[in-house]
Structure 1
Amino acid sequence: MKWLLVVMGVLAALFALMALIGAFVAREHHATSTITLRQPPESVWKVVRDIGGAPAWFPALQKSERLPDRDGHEVWRQKVGGFDVPLIVLESSPPRKIVTQIDPKAGGAFGGTWTYELTPESNGTRVSVTEAGWISNPIFRFMARFLFGYYGSLDNYLKALGKRFGETVQPTHN
């Protein structure tokens, strides 16, 4: 019984330390991951812009369903890791740029935007995705900063996009 109390005390101290350190980690963060595909921008655009079709090639996304537009913007509900994530398309400039945002009205523990930029290159298309995000909970900020990193979701998306085109890619970070 004594060892159980010691273990619980150590765990409580770890969580307290994570919360304390996390309180000093910036709430906002920016991360950009980039790949180059051997595809023309128009082909890449069709896949990136098809938000409803993304679950077919992006394993982290279980579902993506269109909801009624709001204030002239597309609204989607995506199921990611068992969580429903409401998404708004803020900007769509074919075939170069799309900006999506986690719906701020949803009141989640995290949020922000993903900006997808497609740039033509001589050998295909450079695809950059920038996350401008925020995390409200200090423990989650600690985990994102020191355990998971800010690039994981971006890199997984870009690797899956490469695989969708039959290419193996390794994202770079700027």
Structure 2
Amino acid sequence: MSGWRWTAAGAAAVAAVVTAGLAAAVLAAGRRLPVEHVSEGGLELDRPPDEVWDVLTAVDFFPAWRPGLAHVERLPATAAGHPRWREYGKHGHTTYEVVESAAPHRLVTGIADPDLPYGGTWTYVLTPAGRGCTLTVTEHGEVYQPLYRAVSHYLTGEGATVHRYLSALAQRMAAAG
């Protein structure tokens, strides 16, 4: 009786076919997802809006309270005079700029690097509430590459960045208390 034999080459071929199939499925799923997404999160803080505003806009101090951020480099302002900076982390760097600023109630920042596989803006709204304030952060994100869209949507979640930011900010504000 002739038997089927499993070989290392056969196992490698099966693994390659399975990997290619999974990659194709992930890309197909990513292509079906929209490029744009909106994520929102909020936080109640026992600090007045102007105090929270100071933390939100103190770019040089971001690495002290935002996990994963190694350092920040200030860049020349835009032609309209808006501040710009570059954040460095374990996955490289991203350039940001202030798009709109109405202290201490509304701040809009945006990615100012068109070569990245993602982009978008973040709107921070501070609303007085008793002795403190409520902060709402809305991300209007764009993920241009289908693979990144699929990973963002199915694995990490589009709102992950907003929620990580709010968690770090809550810890920062509690430490200042």
What TM-score, normalized by structure 2, do the two folds share?
Answer: 0.89
What secondary structure does 2:123 align onto? Answer: strand
**Among residues 51, 55, 74, which one is paired with 2:83 in the alignment?**
74
Give the whole-Å Cα distance in 1 for the aligned partners of 2:11 and 2:144: 34
CA distance in 1, matches of 2:130, 2:78: 39
Determine the structure 2 residue equivalent to 1:15: 23
Calculate the TM-score normalised by the size of structure 1. Answer: 0.91
1:113 to 2:121 alignment: yes
Larger radius of gyration: 2
Q: Which amino acid is 2:44 matched to?
A: T
Please state how far the C-alpha of 1:123 moved relative to its aligned partner.
4.5
Letter in 1 for 2:135: V
1:156 aligns with 2:176: no
1:25: which partner in 2?
33
RMSD: 1.2
State the distance in 1 between where 2:43 and 2:68 align. 19
Q: Secondary structure at the match of 2:76?
A: strand
Q: How does 1:21-60 map to 2 (within 5 A)?
A: 21-60=29-68
1:6 partner SS: helix
Render the CA deviation track for 1:79-107: whole Å, top value 9, x for unaligned: 13331101111111111111111014x32
Name the SS for the 1:131 alignment partner: strand
Aligned counterparts of 1:60 and 1:99: Cα–Cα separation in 2: 22
Deviation by residue 1:126-157 (Cα, 9 ceiling, x = unmatched): 11111101111111111111111011111111
Count of matched residue positions in the alignment of Structure 1 and Structure 2: 166
SS in 1 for 2:83: strand
How high is the sequence identity, in percent, across the aligned residues?
Answer: 34
| Secondary structure, aligned partner of 1:160 | helix
Give the equivalent residue in structure 1 for 2:73: 65
Matched, 1:87 2:113: no
* Aligned twin of 2:10: 2
Higher share in strand:
1
Q: Which residue in the other structure is 2:112 paired with? A: 103
Q: Cα deviation per residue 1:2-55 (whole Å; 9 max; x = unaligned)?
A: 111111211111010011111110000001010101111111111011122111
Structure 2 residue runs of 5 or longer lacking an equivalent are 1-8
Q: Which residue of 1 aligns with 2:6?
A: none
SS in structure 2 opposite 1:70?
coil
Q: Structure 1: state its 5+ residue gaps.
A: 168-174
Once the two structures are superposed, what CA deviation does each residue of 1:106-137 show, in whole Å capped at 9, x if it has no partner? 32100000111111101511111111011111
